[in-house]
Amino acid sequence: MALIGLDIGTSGAKALVVNAQGKVLATEFEEYSMATPHPLWAEQNANHWWRASKQVLHGVLGKARIRPAEVQGIGLTGQMHGLVLLDDAGTVLRPCIMWNDQRTAAECAEMSAQIGTERLLDLTGNLVLPGFTAPKILWVRKHEPRVYEKVRHVLLPKDFIRYKLTGEFSSEMSDASGTVLLDVRHRCWSSEILRSLQIPAEWMPVLVESTQQTGSVNRSAARDTGLREGTPVVGGGGDQAAGAVGSGIVREGTISVTIGTSGVVFAHSTEYRREPEGRLHAFCHAMPNAWHLMGVTLSAGGSLRWFRDAFCQEEQQRARKKRVDPYEVMVKSAARCPPGSEGLLFLPYLTGERTPYADPLARGAFLGLTVRHTKPHMIRAIMEGVAFSLKDCMDLVTKTGIPATEVRISGGGARSRLWRQILADVLNTGLHTVTSTDGAPYGAALLAGVGTGVFSTVESASERAVRPVSPANPDKHAGVYQRLYEVYQSAYGQNRFLFESLSDIPSSG
């Protein structure tokens, strides 16, 4: 017996196979690219996700040495908020406008004015932000009317793959929460918002809970992927909610910190609640009758990836010669720099920001550069700046009354001992990794197990499969970081109007 989790991530598709005890048998990853045709835009070709999905599903079955008939079910997860538009034949109409795309500031303002900020907060638990799905629909209607007139289906990234696997147009509550079209308290599409925005309700996918089956692998998809026709496909969850399941964030008081392309602080809640000013996202969790609060920094690991690609060709060459990950070479050099990077501060707002500023025009910056600073200082400053951004999120979560009795860390950044220690020092709390570091696809596989009867509940699945390990505790450097964090907190406000002015500079695109 085996379960598969399939993750349609920002940087690539990942498939993972686990057994009934939650042991990972194999993983497979296939990268794809992101296009930025204009500043602050981010797009991907949805068909590239499907091509990568076919490759990783074939690959992971072979690596795990299991027969297709042994796969009990598949759970889906992926990047949230992306807008995939299909016509009546199921053909993709334009590239997906992604979660980190910031083009829709005008549409967000339009939506807030039309419905009212407080009313939107009451219905959705969230402010309308450019990364969310609804304003992207309005942008397409305004700027691409020929595309808009052909639209018959609106899907999120993982749900496009569900359609390719099953032929069904379905989604689940956690991912749907990030559209700002969902009544989050009552877990249904908001007829009031859809009607106000004149978005046809029939365009929206059927909603289920994350543990419900949404169809089965059809003949065409079985041929393309190597899966057995009829294999159940379960709702799954948005990447953060599924990742939380995979990290054991299924009870109040246990909080996760994830450093992936984005950085996330995720807190389980047994009741619907929201941050009064909407600075945290209030979403449905990937389990029935549960919600979560979430703070997001848009460019966490993405900041380090940007620096790697733009400035670290030498490190990449050394890594290839040593046959190691380029990040290993980069982080090793950063570890030789002192905490605080000798007064160098990085603001990780490379694609705007969400928490706590909700500002699509925010820009990244190095502050405090001197002739003493080197490339390793800049790498360490990036890691520290991301940690400060996550502290902004954590402080807002605890102010809502949710206790932080245990903090767990996951994502690619969690594999770095240095980054774990920096984060423990900045948060001034102990951190635990967990027995699985595969995050979202691991949680999706567990959700598939619940949906197909392998596990009775999400809580029992998580408790059987996930255990905290490898603690990192704050050390003597916490005081240094507290002083630097105070500077970090003032930096956005002092540079906000400068960021706005820079956004008016025309691009070559």
pLDDT in tens, 370-401: 999 999 999 999 999 999 999 999 999 999 99
pLDDT for residue 157 is more than 60: yes
C-alpha to C-alpha distance for 214 and 205, rounded to whole angstroms = 11
Of the given ranges (199-203, 317-321, 426-430, 433-437), which has the lowest mean pLDDT?
433-437
What is the SS3 assignment for 248? coil
**Interacting residues of 142 by C-beta distance below 8 A, sequence separation 6+:** 107
**What is the C-alpha to C-alpha distance for residues 133 and 180, in angstroms, rounded to an integer?**
7
Q: Please say if 239 is a catalytic residue.
A: yes
Q: In this predicted structure, which of 212-221, 243-252, 363-372 has the lowest mean pLDDT?
A: 243-252
**Residue 508 banded pLDDT, cuts 50, 70, 90:** low
Tens digit of each residue's pLDDT (9 = 90 or more) over 442-466: 999 999 999 999 999 999 998 889 8
For Cα atoms 305, 306, 307, give the angle at the middle one, nearest 5 degrees: 90
Say if CB 26 and CB 7 are below 8 A apart: no
Q: What is the mean pLDDT of residues 84-104?
A: 96
pLDDT of residue 429: 94
Residue 360: its pLDDT value, please? 82
Helix H or strand E encompassing 199: none
Q: Which helix (H) or strand (E) holds 215?
A: strand 213-216
In contact, 16 and 442? CB cutoff 8 Å: yes
Beta strands 71-78 and 232-238 are: parallel
State the pLDDT at residue 506: 76
- Asked, as a colleague might, if the bond just before 360 is cis with ω within 30 of 0, I would say no
Of residues 102 and 94, the one with the higher pLDDT is 94
**At a CB cut-off of 8 Å and minimum separation 6, what does 491 contact?**
345, 347, 365, 367
**Residue 417 pLDDT > 60:** yes
Residue 485 and residue 392 in contact, taking contact as beta carbons nearer than 8 Å:
no
Residue 260's pLDDT is what?
85
At residue 435 the predicted structure's pLDDT band, cuts being 50, 70 and 90, is: confident
Q: pLDDT, tens digit, for every residue of 166-188?
A: 999 999 999 999 999 999 999 99
For the segment 100-122, what is each residue's pLDDT rounded down to a tens digit? 898 999 999 999 999 999 999 99
Give the pLDDT confidence of 307-361 residue by residue, as tens digits: 999 999 999 999 999 999 999 999 999 999 999 999 999 999 998 898 999 888 8
**DSSP string across 21-56:** T--EEEEEEEE---B-SSTT--EE-HHHHHHHHHHH
Q: How far apart are CA 146 and CA 111, in angstroms?
A: 22
Which architecture does CATH list for 296-435+470-501?
2-Layer Sandwich (3.30)
SS3 readout for 181-197: CEECCCCEECHHHHHHH
Average pLDDT over residues 196-208: 98
- Give me the helices (H) in 293-374, please: 301-311, 313-322, 326-334
Q: Please, which residues have CB within 8 angstroms of residue 165's CB and are 6 or more apart in sequence?
A: 74, 215, 217, 218, 221, 225, 227, 233
Which CATH architecture describes the domain 2-247?
2-Layer Sandwich (3.30)
From CA 461, how far away is CA 22, in angstroms rounded?
8
Percent of the chain's residues with pLDDT above 70:
99
In 41-101, the DSSP E strands lie at 43-44, 71-78, 84-86, 96-97
Q: Which has the closest alpha carbon to 82: 19, 149, 136?
A: 136
Residue with tokens 């160098």: 344
Beta-bridge partner residues of 295? 265
Dihedrals φ, ψ of 283, to 5°?
-125, 160
- Report the alpha-carbon distance of residue 297 to residue 258 in Å, rounded: 10
Q: Smallest Cα–Cα separation from 41: which of 115, 121, 83, 99? A: 99
Determine whether 374 is exposed, middle or buried from the number of CB atoms within 10 Å of its CB (0-12, 13-18, 19+): middle
Residue 438 burial by Cβ neighbours in a 10 Å radius (0-12, 13-18, 19+):
buried
**Cα–Cα dist 133/150, whole Å:** 18
Its pTM stands at 0.86
Query: What is the band of 67 on the pLDDT scale with cuts at 50, 70, 90?
Result: very high
| Three-class DSSP category at 434 | strand
Q: Which residues contact 501 (CB under 8 A, 6 or more apart)?
A: none
Rounded mean pLDDT of the chain? 95
- The domain spans of the chain are 2-247, 296-435+470-501
Same fold, 2-247 and 296-435+470-501: yes
Which of 67-71, 239-243, 327-331 has the least mean pLDDT? 239-243
**Residue 85 contacts residue 245 (beta carbons within 8 Å):** no
Of 48-62, 151-165, 395-409, the least confident: 395-409
The one catalytic residue among 239, 359, 392, 425: 239
Ordered DSSP codes for 370-399:
-TT--HHHHHHHHHHHHHHHHHHHHHHHHH
